[in-house]
Homo-oligomer: A and B are copies of this chain.
Amino acid sequence: MKLLLIGYGNVGKAFRRLLHEKKDNYPILQGVEIAGIITRQGLMVGDKENFSPDKQLTVLEAIDYINPDVIVDMSVPNYKDGEPSVSAYIKALSRKIHVITVNKAPLALKFREIFEVAEKTGAKIGFQGTVMSGTPSINLFRIQPVAEVSRIRGILNGTTNYILTRIYEGLSFNEALKEAKEKGYAEEDPTLDLNGFDAAAKLTILSNFIMNRSLKLGDFKFKGITEITNEEIRRAKSEGKKIKLIAYADNYVVQVSPQIIGPQDPLYYIDGVENALEIQNEIQRIIIRGPGAGPINAAYGALSDLVLLLEGCL
């Protein structure tokens, strides 16, 4: 099975390392090879740790050149139009090349269009890594079949949850943001985390997949944490409560917004960069929590998808 990796940043490197580490012990991975890695600098043919482009090709050209069995998208989300990933997925899936992605933008922008192509050809899409990274979220629904989900609620963005936690503990917003950057929990430009955009992208993907919606980013309201004052957080604290950025979807409402929640709410205890997802279906309510980010975690999400694909379980 030939892989073409798109993007070779921290997640791509972690994925390559993890794949090599695991290959010896897991027979199912032994036929897997990285046939090429494409970045904005071009295509590197074959599997080498240090990237240097062999050919000046675009992503679409690289698919023709490599003719992979699977493309693994580890590139940074482009929320303007999802390109070049959207076109790459369409091209790949229409040729029955499978897609595994940790890149949220294409599925948050063109979920139905992409899945329609996959359904036509029978190609599979693995996207565990787009939501909560390596903590089972998307794939959790694969093992909970035939039960209608009526509500999901979660803390899906680690950056904002870390900042809210640190303000609760006494820092100012700016101190908390600075610390989050220093620890690698916030990017240099944290806008898409802070304004709720990242959480909204994840909620879009989850709602479309689980609740059979046809949402695109922008179809519902989202609000981030930038308008919350330290004073509001302290007041909530003095009443025994916390402010959390909650992603919520039921059959009527889809939204991301800060909520004041108390200790009777399981999400009250999700602090720092941890993520959590609460799922209510017709049978039961379950909650899963775990790390929602980190290059190794995202790589593990993608590798889990690869194994499920090889097992015929995507």
Residues on A facing B (Cβ under 8 Å)? 22, 25-26, 29, 128, 134-136, 139-140, 142-147, 266, 269, 283-291, 296-297, 300, 303-304, 307-308, 311-313
Are A289 and B290 CB-contacts (below 8 A) given A136-B144, A269-B269, A313-B312? no
Beta-carbon contact of A143 and B142 below 8 Å: yes
Residues in B with CB closer than 8 Å to A136 are 136, 140, 143-144, 286
Are A287 and B289 CB-contacts (below 8 A) given A140-B136, A143-B139, A266-B269? yes
A201 CB to nearest chain B CB (Å): 22
Residue of B nearest to A128 (CB): B143
Task: Give CA–CA (A146, B139) in the complex, Å.
Answer: 15
Task: Give CA–CA (A288, B284) in the complex, Å.
Answer: 13
Beta-carbon contact of B289 and A266 below 8 Å: yes
Residue in contact with A289 in the complex, picked from B134, B144, B286, CB distance below 8 Å: B286
Beta-carbon contact of A29 and B146 below 8 Å: yes
Q: List 10 other contacts, CB 8 Å, given A135-B286, A136-B143.
A: A26-B146, A134-B283, A136-B136, A140-B143, A142-B143, A283-B300, A284-B300, A285-B291, A312-B313, A313-B313
